């Protein structure tokens, strides 16, 4: 690990890999809010989106909204390509988009592409995955293998909807079987019409607590939230905390 010095104090850099219980669990909103929370706590923070599909052509090249949020809320910010070294246009599974673009994705090639980002000396480093925990890179490797290679603690975003308990328990089991620790979890209210949400949330709190996994916050469903809006995101950030 590296050290960063601010106002005469030395703080150890902490690296986390953020994943979700499924696609659309709210990983990017939580990632951006955690980066914002670090700034609110006077900590430097860097957001890394190693591979992003579903991007748009701009005058500066392909740009992905999720990765732009990482850049926006990192402090200090870096050039876009450092926040998102592999940017793919089709909004499909990253390994398929990479194949279509003629890119050979492996843990080694992705680690090399992310070298500049992984070397950033910020006090908090957040790596956001794609989809769920076992999203493929190729026929044999997944983004989980990339997370293991970085030795990162894992933050799990649990999208609160029908089936979330099963998805959360299975994901934690897979993370632990891979040899990584789940450093913390966030409950994210993605379904405003979820039945028995409080009962589901109560079970999740008890289950994670029994495993000694920190609760890093609960975010209610927020209709129409625009993560690009600094004031709106600050309200979400106030509900969160980084794992210790």
- The most distant pair of C-alpha atoms in the chain lies apart, rounded to whole Å, by 51
- State phi, psi for 72 to the nearest 5 degrees: -60, -40
Output the pLDDT for position 159.
98
Output the pLDDT for position 9.
37
Catalytic residues: 49
For residue 142, what is the DSSP state?
A: B
57-74 residue pLDDT tens: 999 999 999 999 999 999
68-111 residue pLDDT tens: 999 999 999 999 999 999 999 999 999 999 999 999 999 999 99
Output the pLDDT for position 3.
38
Output the pLDDT for position 13.
87
Q: Record the tokens describing residue 116, joined without a space.
A: 């500049």
- CA dihedral (40, 172, 26, 116) positive or negative: positive
- Residue 227, pLDDT > 60, answer yes
The pLDDT confidence band at residue 7, using thresholds 50, 70 and 90, is very low
- Residue 8, pLDDT > 60, answer no
- Residue 52, pLDDT > 80, answer yes
Instruction: Give the integer Cα–Cα distance in Å for 90 and 58.
Output: 15
Rounded mean pLDDT, 119-137: 96
Q: pTM here?
A: 0.93
Q: Which domains does the chain have, with CATH numbers?
A: 12-237 (3.40.50.300)
- Residue 11, pLDDT > 80, answer no
Output the pLDDT for position 47.
98
The pLDDT confidence band at residue 10, using thresholds 50, 70 and 90, is very low
HSE-CB at 235 with a 13 A cutoff on CA atoms is 10
- Residue 123, pLDDT > 80, answer yes
Output the pLDDT for position 12.
80
């Amino acid at each position: 690990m590296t050290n960063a010095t601010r106002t005469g104090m030395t703080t150890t850099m902490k690296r986390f890999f953020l994943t979700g219980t499924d696609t659309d669990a709210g990983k990017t909103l939580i990632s951006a809010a955690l980066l914002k929370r670090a700034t609110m706590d006077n900590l430097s923070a860097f957001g890394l989106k190693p591979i992003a599909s579903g991007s748009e052509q701009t005058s500066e090249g392909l740009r992905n909204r999720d990765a732009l949020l990482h850049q926006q809320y990192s402090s200090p910010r870096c050039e876009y390509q450092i926040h998102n070294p592999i940017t793919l246009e089709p909004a499909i599974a990253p390994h398929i988009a990479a194949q279509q673009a003629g890119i050979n994705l492996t843990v080694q090639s992705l680690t090399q592409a992310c070298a500049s980002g992984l070397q950033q000396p910020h006090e908090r480093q957040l790596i956001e995955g794609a989809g769920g925990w076992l999203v493929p890179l190729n026929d044999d490797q997944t983004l989980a293998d990339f997370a293991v290679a970085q030795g990162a603690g894992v933050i799990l975003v649990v999208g609160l909807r029908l089936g979330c308990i099963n998805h959360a328990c299975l994901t934690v089991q897979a993370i632990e079987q891979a040899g990584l620790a789940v450093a913390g979890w966030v409950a994210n209210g993605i379904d405003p019409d979820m039945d028995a949400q409080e009962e589901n949330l109560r079970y999740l709190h008890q289950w994670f607590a029994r495993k000694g996994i920190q609760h890093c916050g609960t975010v209610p469903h927020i209709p129409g939230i625009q993560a690009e809006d600094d004031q709106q995101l600050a309200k979400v950030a106030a509900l969160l905390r980084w794992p210790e």
